[in-house]
Amino acid sequence: MKTTTSVLQRCLCLFTLTIPVLSATYSLSDNVVGSGFNSFFSYQAISDPTHGRVNYVDKGTAQSKNLTYASGNTFILRADHTTTLSASGPGRDSVRLQSNKQYSTHVAVFDMRHMPQGCGTWPAVWEVGNNWPNQGEVDIVEGVNDQSPDQVTLHTSSGCTMPSSRSMTGSSTGTNCDTAATNNAGCGVKVNGANSYGPAFNSNGGGWYAVERTNSAIKVWFWPRNSGSVPSDVRNGGNSVNTGNWGTPSALFPSTSCDISSHFGPHNIIINLTFCGDWAGSVYSSSGCPGSCVDYVNNNPSAFNNAYFDFAAIRVYT
C-alpha cells in the first residue's frame, strides 16, 4: 500500500505539473498577412456606434481611395487625409473591419509597425460578441488624441468584477466591468510603458500585442519592437505558441468574480479608426488639442497623414 500510494502521488504530481503547459499551448489557426486581410475581414460601412466624426466606407471605396492596400507583408488601413469636410456633410472617410470568423478560447497576436496618431483620432483593435454587452467586449489596443499609454478594457453585462490587486504589470483603472454601472467605462488596465500607444509606439517601430482568452482568464501582453523579452514564438510567428512562457501579462482579468464562460460569447476581431465621438471628443480639450474636435477633423486633412495602421501580420491560435 505504501508503494502504491507513493507511485500514485508521483503520478498525480507529474499530471499536475503537465496540465498548465498543455493548456497554454495553441496551434496556428489563421495566419493573416498582406492581401490576406481582405479575405479574413469584411468591411463595415455602418454608422459609428460611438458617434464619431467618421464615414466608414465599403471595400470598393476603401481600395479605390487607397484607404486600405497591401504589399508583401504589409497591410495599411488609414483615413482620408486630403479632403476638407463640409460641416453639414458626412465625417472623414475611414475603415472598420470585422473578422469573418469568430473565436472563443484562443490566442491572437497582432504584429503592428504603426498605429493611427493625431488629435481627434480614436483607433482600436478589439474583440466583441454579436449580443453586446451580454457576450462581452475585449479592447486590446485603444486610446485617443495621442494620449499614452494603451488601455486594455473589458465591457460586460452585470455581475463581472475584477480584484483590485492581481498579477500584471499594468495599472487598474476600474474593477467593475458592467457597462450599465460604469457609463460604459468597463474595467480597464493601463499598459506599463509610454511606447505602448501613439507616437511613441510608432517611433519605436511598433511591437506586438497578444490576447489569450480562456474560461479561467483573459490576458493581454505587449512587447515593444526592440524589447529583448519578446518570446520567440511571437517574434517569429510560429506554428504554435505557448503562453506559459510569456511571463506576467500587461493586463490580467481572472474569473475570480466574473464567470467568463457566461459573460463572453464567440467574438469577432474588429479593427477601426474613428474620430472625436464619445471618448476622443469628450476629452479632446484636456488632451492639449487645438480648437474643437469636430472643427479640427473637418478642416485639417493633412493632420491625418499619420492616421494609419500598418500591420505586418495577425496570427490566431486555437
Name residue, grid cell 466624426.
Answer: 53
| Catalytic residue flag (residue 212) | no
Neighbours of 111 (CB within 10 A): 22
SS (H, E, C) the chain: CHHHHHHHHHHHHHHHHHHHHHHCEEEEEEEECHHHHHHHEEECCCCCCCCCCEEECCHHHHHHCCCEEEECCEEEEECCCCCCCCCCCCCEEECEEEECCCECCEEEEEEEEECCCCCCEEEEEEEECCCCCCCCEEEEEECCCCCCCCEEEEEECCCCECCCCCCCCCEECCCECECCCCCCCCEEEECCCHHHCHHHHHHCCCEEEEEEECCCEEEEEEEECCCCCCCHHHHCCCCEEEHHHCCCCCEEEECCECCHHHHCCCEEEEEEEEECHHHHHCCCHHHCCCCCHHHHHHHCHHHHCCCEEEEEEEEEEC
The cell for 318 is: 486555437
| Catalytic residue flag (residue 137) | yes
Residue pair 176/182 in contact (Cβ under 8 Å)? The answer is: yes
SS (H, E, C) 240-255: EEEHHHCCCCCEEEEC
d(CA 78, CA 114): 11
Tell me which of 137, 146, 178, 233 is the catalytic residue. Answer: 137
Tell me which of 45, 102, 132, 142 is the catalytic residue. Answer: 142
Mind telling me the catalytic residues? 137, 142
